[in-house]
Every structure is written in C-alpha cells, then in structure tokens.
Structure 1
C-alpha cells in the first residue's frame, strides 16, 4: 500500500492510501471527488452557521434591501411562513441583508453548530500534517450528518434559493466567486511526481514510481499547461525555524565575545600576581563569613 500526499501550490490538501496498479486517471478522478467534496463541506459549514444565526435565505430580489425598500417595492417572502424551524424562532437581524432574521431557538442553534464542528474535524487540513488519511467515505459521511442536522432543525425543508439547499442538490452557483477558483476541474488537472508530469494517464502508478508499495510520496497538482510546480524545500517549516533560532543564538554569542575587552583575563585566579605569596603563607582561598 503506497501513501500519496497531495499538495497544491505548497498547500497540503489530503492523504490517500492506494496500490501502484491503479491508473493515474483513476487517481485524478478520486482527487477531484474528495477535494471538491471537502470544499463543498467548507461552504456548507459556513452557510449552516449563518442559518443558525439569521434563519433562511431571502429571495434573490429581496437580498440587500432595507425594510423601507421592501415595503416600497411591495415585496414579500412567502417562504418564511413555510420554512419554520422546530421550536419556533428568535429575531436576529442580518446586517448584510442576505437572510430573513428569523433564527432558530438556542437549542436548535446548538444542534447546527455542533454538527458543523464535527464535519470540519472529519475533513480538516490538520489531517495532512498529522499524516491521517481522508477518504471519499469521510466526505459522504460529513454531507449526510450536515443534511440530517438541517432536516432536524427545519423539518419542512429550506427554500430552493437557499445556498444550503442548492449545495445539497448540487445546483450551487459559484460563478464570479473566489470559491470557484478553488474547485478542481477533472479535465484540466495534471499530477506531478519528482518534477515529472504523470502522463499518459492510462499508465499505472508503478510506471512512474516503481514497484515499492511501502512508501510515501508527494504528488503536486497543477492545471494543464502551467508547467512544473516548485520542488519541495530541503527542510520543512519546523526545521527551518529551529535552524534560524540556532543561528540567532550563535550570532548573539559572537556579539558578546566581540564586545569583551582583552584584559578580562586579569580577573582570573591564575593571573593574580600575589597568588604565589598567598600560597606560601597558606592564606589562599580564604572565605569570610
């Protein structure tokens, strides 16, 4: 079993275990599923947090409007009466005007927040640093528990225009957002190993990595045509910090030595001109109490 550690622009993504007989195109497909799934979970966790704070999303034609503008334009959100959270609502206005301001009660907010934290931990980037594998099953489990928590709090469901419902239905619109740039494109993704692009993708991993299954390798992700990514640094970040700290301490020691005068040795016992006389008289090393 070979362990693959995927990185993009020196940022650790996730780790997977596989065998060397798998084709590169199969690995690419798996990477896209897991990483895009992790990004979906991040977006859902943010939006569910907002759902707990301010309630369901307003219709697109009412978002960003003041109460006076809504009254003047005679707009009405018909979904507020349909999508009522379990246990009732508490008023909490959304300052940016994206959500209705009718938040769930505190106990229902706790259900959402606890589930969000659980999902974040399951697919956290810290697993990369801790050398822990993240699988597609972990992603599916996170989506399931998030959907379950939303269903518990909103048994009547969410409006179709709510970003959370759009994510669950795979109808999210990320056009023009920074999040869209982070999503991996299956047809525009290249894998690099030891400074070489892993093409053709129909070849197995063993064609590029050899036959040794008991190994750990770093695979770098780039868009097709962007060239070879930067190589891994010789020392990691932690080792670099230790080396810099050692160099600083050494520099301070050298400064202190440079500041010392050449006559400092005169304070030593061997440089005392009366030390022989004191020894002959037996009065050396006398201590006064």
Structure 2
C-alpha cells in the first residue's frame, strides 16, 4: 500500500511492523516464548550471531559506503543529486566496505544469455563451414542456371537443332 502511495520507509514504520509481530506472537504463544528462542532474542534485540553465517550480513554504518554508477554516494546528499528528478528511474546501489574502492561492475549479459549467444554463433559457423565445403557445381549444367536461357526462350530459339532429321 505504501509503495503504491509513494510513502518512504521510516524507522517508525519498522517499529510499527515489529509491534505487530510482537502482538501476533503474544496471541499464538500466550505463555511467551522460551528465553533461548531465536525469535524472542531477535525481538528483544539480544540475538548473538557469533559463529554464524548471518554475522556477515550485519553492516556497521560507520564502515560501509554506498556506490552508484561508479561514484561514492556522500552522506548528507540526496538521491536526486545523483539520479535526477525522474521518478521512474531504476537505480542499482551497491554497498561496499569503506576504503575498498568502487565495487566491481556487473556483466552486461547473464551467464545463461551468454551461453545462448555462443551456441547460436557456433551453429551459424557450422552452417557456413558446411556451405564452404559443399562445392557441388552440378547445378551449373542446368538450363535454369544458363544466363542467356531466358533471352532465347523469349525469342523462340530454345529447341533448335543443327542436324537434319
């Protein structure tokens, strides 16, 4: 609903969503969740992620920077300073650790598209190679391959023989 009405996401929206989740958990688990339950730990903001893969996904705001179109996005600047006022523009912003430079570029084609193009090119080259190898010149003796045949047929000179019958 908020996306359709172009409402920006704020911290208050996130707090409201967490309150709704807390209420739903209170309804489902009326006796409350045990203290070791990950959902309870997450809602109480005391989840310990040491030794898990999820720890890699947590970003420290002081150690990260945003990049768009090969340029670092400075804090305090608005997005329209980088993109402009076109509201229908699709923007891909990448997150990078501070001090590591610009992130790598994404390939123009996906790997699957690249494979399809290479397969089509391979088939085209095979066909061209078969045509090059096929030196069948038997059609040159045919009447339709003769350049002056059309002229002779218009003039009525097609079935002339020089030998008497």
Q: TM-score range by the shorter chain?
A: 0.5 to 0.7
Does the 8 Å CA contact 1:147/1:168 hold for their aligned counterparts? no
The C-alpha deviation readout for 1:149-186, integer Å capped at 9, x for no partner, is: x5454332221111121122221110121110012222
* Structure 2 counterpart of 1:271: 141
Task: State the shift of 1:191 in Å.
Answer: 0.9
TM-score, normalising length: structure 1: 0.39
**Structure with bigger RCO (C-alpha 8 Å, 6+ apart):** 1
Structure 2: unaligned runs, 5 residues or longer: 1-5, 144-148, 150-157, 160-165
In structure 2, relative to structure 1, the CA distance for the partners of 1:216 and 1:18 (3 Å cut) is farther
Q: CA RMSD in A?
A: 3.9
Secondary structure of the equivalent of 2:95?
strand
Is the aligned partner of 1:203 residue 2:77? yes
CA contact (8 A) 2:67 2:94 kept: yes
* DSSP-derived class of the 2:130 partner: helix
Equivalent residue number for residue 221 of structure 1: 95
Rg (Cα) greater in structure: 2
Change (3 A) 1:151 1:226: same
SS across alignment from 2:93? strand
Judged with a 3 Å threshold, the aligned counterparts in structure 2 of structure 1 residues 140 and 241 are, in CA distance, closer, same or farther, namely farther
CA distance, structure 2, for counterparts of residue 159 and residue 183 of structure 1: 25
Asked whether the 8 Å contact 2:18–2:43 carries over to 1, the reply is no
Shift of 1:197: 1.1
The residue number in structure 1 matching 2:51 is 176
Contact 1:151–1:157 (8 Å) recurs in 2: yes
| Mapped contact 2:22–2:43 kept (Cα < 8 A) | no
Q: What is the correspondence of 1:270-289 to structure 2 with a 5 Å cutoff?
A: 271-272=141-142, 280=159
Task: Name the CA distance, whole Å, in 1 between partners of 2:121 and 2:35.
Answer: 59
Aligned to 1:154: 29
Structure 1: tracts of 5 or more residues without a match: 1-16, 20-26, 34-135, 281-289
SS of residue matched to 1:165: helix
| Larger fraction in strand | 1
Closer, same or farther: CA 239–160 of 1 in aligned 2, 3 Å: same
CA contact (8 A) 2:41 2:47 kept: yes
Shift of 1:212: 2.7
Question: Deviation at 1:193?
Answer: 1.8
Q: Would the alpha carbon gap of residues 145 and 254 (structure 1) be closer, same or farther in structure 2, given more than 3 Å must change?
A: farther
Three-state SS of the structure 2 residue aligned to 1:213 is: coil
Count of residue pairs the alignment pairs up:
141
Partner of 2:117: 243
TM-score normalised according to structure 2 size: 0.62
Q: Please give the alpha-carbon distance, in whole angstroms, between the structure 2 residues aligned to 1:145 and 1:163.
A: 14
Instruction: Tell me the alpha carbon deviations over residues 43-86 of structure 1, each in whole angstroms, 9 at most, x when there is no partner.
Output: xxxxxxxxxxxxxxxxxxxxxxxxxxxxxxxxxxxxxxxxxxxx
